[in-house]
Every structure is written in C-alpha cells, then in structure tokens.
Chains A and B, each alone.
Chain A
Amino acid sequence: MIIIGERINGMFKDIGEALRNKDPKPFQHWALKQQEGGAHYLDVNSGPAVPTEERPEAYKWMVNVIQEVSDLPLCLDSTNYDAIEEGLKLCKRPAMINSCPAERAKIERVFPMAVQYNASLIGLTMDKKGIPKDAENRVAFAMELVAAADEFGLPMEELYIDPLILPVNVAQEHAPEVLESLRQIKTLANPAPRTVLGLSNVSQKSPDRHLINRTYLAMAMAVGLDAAIVDANDDALVDAAATAQILLNKSIYADSYLKVFRTR
C-alpha cells in the first residue's frame, strides 16, 4: 500500500499563508512529519494561494524547499500542467503527476510528460461532463487511460487510475460503485494498471471522519487499491493499511508489522 501524504496543500491555512510569504518552515515541518507517519509520497498542491500565472514559480519553490529536508518522492498535484512540468524538472526522485482526466487534449499533454520525466501518473475516470455515477462508465474511462498509456509508452505499473470517491453523506451510492470499479480496473491489462483514491473525500463533512476513512480504505484494499492520498498522520488509518496489507498476504507477517510498515 502506497501512502501519499495529503497535508502539503494550499487549502490548509498554514500552507497557503506560508506559500504566499515564501516561508519554507510549514512545508518542511509537514514533509518530515508525514514521512514519520508512514507516507511514501508527499502530495504537493498550491491550492488557490497563488494566482494561476505564478503557479509554475510556486511549484519550483515548493519542490525545492521540500527536497531540502526529505528524500520522499513527490506527487505534484495541480490542474496547471506548466506548473507540474516546472516541478518535475527539479524532482530528484521519480515523481507522480496528479492528475489527468480522460480528455484527449489533456491526455496528449500529460502522458508524454510523464514518460519524459520518468514519472507515474494518476488518471481520473472522468471527462468534461464530470464524474460518472456507476462503475460501468468509470471503467470505460479507465480503459481510455489504459489505452493512452499503451499509446504513449507509459509502463502500465506507472499508471494509477483514480475512480473518484465522493462524500458518503451526499453521494452514498457512489461508494460501492467505486469498489466495483477498482475490482474491474485491475482486469483491464496485464500487467494491471495501479489504482489510487483521494481517500479523505469519502468523509467530507461527516462526523467520525477517521473511522469512515480507514474503514473504506480496508474495503478498497480488498478489491485492489494500490495507493491512497490520505492523512499520513492518522495513526489508526496507517495501522489499518498495514493490517490490510498483512491480511492480503502482500507483505510477510512479523509481530512488529505495524512498525515495519512505517520504516524503510
């Protein structure tokens, strides 16, 4: 299970302010703290903190300040592909691009960029019309992303398909559809593409967010989830991920498996 730490995001007040003031401290603090929690990648998202035209510069700055303290690979999270490309140029370890929907114009921009920079790529099962309701249409978009990987020469193991989970309090019927999508996505190619979820979305504006998150994580892992963008400092969630990994026989059991999951 690949844990992508979600905390370095301009939507959080401390990160947004720090980005505007060019203060590296909160970035470095969260990089280290998430690494300690068990993160394998660090998501990096400027949020709305800087205007669009300044985002390429902002991503360069963020990548540099984070890499000063952490060796973790980065997951560059933006819809501004110029900003992502500036970040990719500076990444010391192969990064992840977050993300590309199943829209032809964007596929043509992003897939070759992933190949050029040896990066992984998160593909979203949606297009301009939005997120489909059922598994069938999600999987149809996933197939387009798989075909694009083949077309542009992106190794299938570097493609992470995100079937897009929505909040359970307002879009409850999506949760089982996403599970079914995950199951089917793993059958689309051999080797199979990988799968990822922006997990915290499932519990937006619900009480007991941590409980909902980790329960859904375990359910999703059982049907083939490979990675999740989560709160890496939610210890109960990381414990659930480690335990699910053991119960799926993906890593060999030892009494200290919770600790081993966090060391590398």
Chain B
Amino acid sequence: MPVTLVKEKYPSKVGEVVLGATAAEGGTRTSVIRVGGDGTLPFLQFEGSVENRPIIAMEVTDIVPPWNDTIKEQFGDVLGNPVAMAKKCVEEFGADAIYLKLIGADPEGENRSPEQCAQVVKDVLAAVGVPLIVVGCEDPEKDNEVMAAVAEAAAGENLLIGLAEQDNYKSITAAAMVHKHNVIARSPLDINICKQLNILINEMGLPLNKIVIDPMIGGLGFGIEYAYSIMERARLGALAGDKMLSMPMICTVGYEANRAKEANVGAGEFPGWGELQDRGILWEAVTAAALLQVGASILLMRNPASVRLVQRNIADMMEQNA
C-alpha cells in the first residue's frame, strides 16, 4: 500500500513586511529585507510556500552595554562605538540587520537627548547598508521623544521601530506613519492583548504589513514554553485567516537568553553545569532554535558565537524538503 503524504491546506498566510529602503525607494540601504509571507508552518515546504528565511539582527548599543565578558571579549574595542560595532556585526559576523538599542537615552543613566540619539542612528545608517531596527531605552516617556526624533531623522529609511505597547502605542505609531517606518507591537506573553494591540495600531491607519509582533519571549528555562505556544497559536491563526495575527514575529533572544544565570556564571560556581563558554553560547542559540520552530521571523541576537550556530541552523532548515 502506498503511503500518501499528509498535507495541510491553509486558506491564508503570514503577511510580508519589508525592512529598509534602497536609493530608488527613498532610502540609502544597499538592499531591503523581506520577512514573513509564509503559507505554511515553519519550514514545511512540502505543504506550502516558505517565502523568506528568518533573519538575524545583531544587537548594537549606543554606549558600552552591560553584557558579560564572554560576549564582550568577542567585540573587543568597538564596544561603546556603535558605528564600529555595527560594521563588525555586518562585515565580520554576517548580521542580516542591525538592532540598535539606544540604552544611552535612559534618564536614570546617561540621559542622552533625542537629538543625540537620532545622530547615532544617522551615523549607523551611514556606516552599514543593511536595514535597521531601532528601539529606545524602555522608559516610555523618554522613548516617545527619542523615537519621534529618530523616525524623523531617518525618514525614508523604512526602519523597524519600537516599542508600541497596549498603553503606549499612539505616539510611536504616529511617528511611523508620518515618516513611513514599520512598528514593533509588543505584548506581554498574551495572545489576546497581542491581537488587540494590532487592531488598535491598525485603527490609527498604519497598514497591517507595517507591523511586527513582539510576543515578549522568555529565554530557555525561564518561560520559553509560554512564548513557544503563543507563537504557535499566532502562526496557526495567521494561516487560518486571522488578519490581526498575521504579522511576522520578532524575538528578543539575546536579551532574554543572557539574563539567565546559566548564561553568566562559570563552572567554578556551578561545577555541574560545565564550562560557561559553551553553555552561554548554547543558551542563546537553543533559545533561538526553538523559536524558529514556531515561526520567528526576526531574531534579535547578541553573542557572535551563538549567531554563527543559528545561521547554520537556519541554512539547514531552509533546505528544500518538498
């Protein structure tokens, strides 16, 4: 008896979002990146189209980041120099995009002005040709000012900017609409708030294909399974025709994975866990690999050694299996 391959038929697909703009499109990027667009579960090319491979955007900070030494060592003297750091991520580590985190804006820290922040964005835009993802310092009031300045300074570059949240989405959405950028919609591990936020942003007039979902993942061992099931549910919703959940998903892998003790303490303290060097790399890589299986389109990563592993994982998963 012959075996028939079971193929699911989905009535809809994930929306496609374009990041960046070339000179012809009013920007200065050397190429654009498309994410999303898939008509099937992740990597199941035998039953639907996998339009775009997931991408890795590497984390770059405007001031020296508070990361652990095993990661910092890999960057050497470029830390605190966002231009050199971004160049290294693209040229040496092969990042698809740059995830610029303006932590220097934090009122509790360096409290840099919106103009200073916008200048950093312009400098990084001048230094690399890949698309940029830009977020503030996670102080809601300050971020509203910072991101408005950034959006204006980078008009035409089609950035992906964040963060829009349920109780604070209007000003960043307005900035994105006026200056034609994309927005990250963040919800706290809650599919209902996720959907509602997309509706609210869309009601302001920002098209659905300018929104990316940030489900606020948990790292490996710290709630990743909640994120995993929510992302799976969103993906199934998108494939079933739920337009308000059909956006590509972005995951803050580097931040969440590297908050874990397992990614930070050495074998001296926890001999049973083995060497920190390997463990730290794998903690971030495994977090990323798991989320790729439920439809992550954009991975925001930090550790260059983890990035290398996940790049290989993506290449393997993208091999034709139809």
| Chain A residues within CB distance 8 Å of chain B | 251-256, 259-260, 263-264
Contact = CB atoms under 8 A, between A and B. Distances in A.
A6 B244 CA distance: 28
Interface string B265-285: 000000000000000000000
B112 interface: no
Given A252-B233, A252-B237, A254-B199, A260 B192 contact: no
A264 B242 CA distance: 9
B243 A252 contact: no
Nearest to A155: B9
B199 A252 contact: no
B196 A254 contact: yes
Contacts of A254: 192, 195-196, 199, 244
Contacts of B196: 254-256
- Interface SS majority for chain B: helix
A263 B242 CA distance: 10
B245 interface: yes
Interface string B170-212: 0000000000000000000001100110011000000000000
A251 B237 CA distance: 8
A256 B199 contact: yes
The 9 residue pairs across chains A and B that have the minimum distance between CB atoms? A254-B195, A254-B196, A253-B192, A256-B199, A255-B196, A252-B237, A254-B192, A252-B195, A252-B191
Contacts of A263: 243
A251 B199 contact: no
A255 B195 CA distance: 9
Contacts of B237: 251-252
Interface in B203-240: 233, 237
B195 to A, nearest CB: 4
Nearest to A250: B240
A242 to B, nearest CB: 13
Contact of B245 (A252, A255, A256, A259): A252
Given A251-B237, A252-B245, A255-B192, 10 more contacts: A251-B242, A252-B242, A253-B192, A253-B195, A254-B195, A254-B196, A254-B199, A260-B244, A263-B243, A264-B243
6 contacts: A251-B242, A252-B237, A253-B195, A254-B195, A254-B196, A259-B199
Nearest to A157: B9
Interface string B79-111: 000000000000000000000000000000000
A135 B233 CA distance: 36
A252 B199 CA distance: 13
A260 B191 contact: no
A259 B203 CA distance: 11
A78 to B, nearest CB: 27
Given A252-B191, A252-B237, A254-B192, A260 B245 contact: no
A252 B200 CA distance: 16
A70 to B, nearest CB: 19
